[in-house]
Amino acid sequence: MKFIWLLAAVCVVFLWSCGGTAVSDEEGPKTPRSTLPTIRFAYCWTHGFDTTINAYRKQVKDSFNLETEANNGIQHKTQIFIDVASNNLPDVFTFWSYDTNLKYFVDNNLIVDAQELFDASDFLKREDFRSEALAATEIDGRNYALPYEWFQGVFIVNKKILDESGLALPRTLDDIVRMTPVLRKRGIVPLSMGSYLGDPGHLFFSALTYQTPGAYRDTVEIRKTGNFIYPGTRTAADAVLKLVKAKAVPENTIQTGSWDYQVNQFNLRKTAMTYTFNWTFALFDPQVAAESVIIPVPRISEASEDPARFTVGGVSQSICVSRAAWKVPEKRKSIIRFLEWLFSDATFIARAGQEGCEPTRKIRLPDSVNPLYKKAKEALSGVKTYPLHEFCFGSLATFDRYKAANDLLWSGAVSSDEFLRTVQEELRTSHD
């Protein structure tokens, strides 16, 4: 019954590189495709990854059949749980990280301990991964997925728009409120921020929360205390409603609750500021990126913690291997070969170019022609990365309620107290 409720709630060709096993071009007898093992891979990556993986499919066609299923964003999570319910989990699949998202699979023995994958591969080595990335897939002291991409938040301002409007870069949220009438008169939305199924509003909410002294401690202790209502979340909720009331964000925050839409509005210069993450970097128009700067998230008040010292982020997608597929001896070799390609330098470089995420493996990416990459790297150098609230809930049900509550908050449909109580009620239920 618990699972049914959960399900309703969530209702270019590359050569082998960096130690991976090479694809053979030798002529010889071909194994009939009907007798080759089949590996089914489900993912939620877009913006060109289809081309990358289709090229790889052709390379390995004489070794194994690679079937792929592409889903878009949150639809992927729904599809995976439908697959679980129908006993049809993909052999390999991308999924969100941290025990909030992975614990269900571990508790039901659905995915493989990552150590088994390391033991089976000469290429995949635990020490090649960033330690903070591995921590994102740790459940009860063991890793149950391979972390794939690292992300951090940045606040981007089109300085050219502000200069043309006679406005200075904002230091506080009050600065954004004061510049709103000037920008609105020009038909420009000051801050492109919305929330649809929580995105991207819930991530910006976390960034605002940490401006309150002590909020980092209160957030990471949520799982222990079962408490979502503390000074940081209350101050952040009030700050969101302040922006909504001032019309500093779009009137239709459901419509703008999309990463692609958010970036598109910025590229069209219909908005002056946005808060975004690595997975959108490649979508920014280089010319618009060149006239833009990255600044700390504006302070809620002068008493706030300095936002220049921290950002929010962590590991987005991790790679999971189905326990059922791993039990089939004929599939294991093909799964490892596929994982070695997926984690190769060439594939990571392709992914960075398609979206902009940082690899979790310790590799060096080539310089990008898009100036946003360099600006983000410089802005994020040396800053602390604090976790999103979702990483601290420990329950998908709480996370889903939190996202839905963000939709209401960013649309101005609820008060701060109503928002906080909505999340708290769900958190207390799951905590008890």
Return the closest-CA partner of residue 410 out of 210, 203, 243: 243
User: What is the structure's pLDDT at 33?
Assistant: 58
Written as tens digits, the pLDDT of the chain (432 aa) is 334 334 434 443 333 333 333 333 344 445 555 689 999 999 999 888 999 999 999 999 999 999 999 998 778 999 999 999 999 999 999 999 998 899 999 999 999 999 999 999 999 999 999 999 999 999 999 999 999 999 999 999 999 999 999 999 999 999 999 999 999 999 999 999 999 999 999 999 999 999 999 999 999 999 899 999 999 999 999 999 999 999 999 999 998 888 889 999 999 999 999 999 998 998 999 999 999 999 999 999 988 999 999 999 999 899 999 999 999 999 999 999 999 999 999 999 999 888 888 899 998 888 887 889 899 999 999 999 999 999 999 788 899 999 999 999 999 999 999 999 999 999 888 765
User: What is the structure's pLDDT at 432?
Assistant: 55
User: What is the structure's pLDDT at 367?
Assistant: 83
Using DSSP, state whether 286 is helix, strand or coil.
Answer: helix
Domains present along the chain, CATH in parentheses = 35-148+316-363 (3.40.190.10), 151-313+372-431 (3.40.190.10)
User: What is the structure's pLDDT at 17?
Assistant: 34
Helix then strand count (H, E) for the chain reads 20, 16
Using DSSP, state whether 158 is helix, strand or coil.
Answer: strand
The H-or-E segment that residue 358 falls in is strand 358-359
Using DSSP, state whether 385 is helix, strand or coil.
Answer: strand
Return the closest-CA partner of residue 219 out of 88, 408, 406, 394: 394
The H-or-E segment that residue 334 falls in is helix 329-342
- Dist. CA 322–CA 111, nearest whole Å: 5
Return the closest-CA partner of residue 118 out of 135, 89, 99, 143: 143
Ordered alpha helix ranges (H), 86-172 = 98-107, 114-120, 131-134, 159-164
The residue written with tokens 């571990």 in the block is 106
Cβ neighbors of 230 (< 8 A, separation 6 or more) are 214, 215, 218
The residue written with tokens 């150098």 in the block is 381
The residue written with tokens 């940045």 in the block is 154
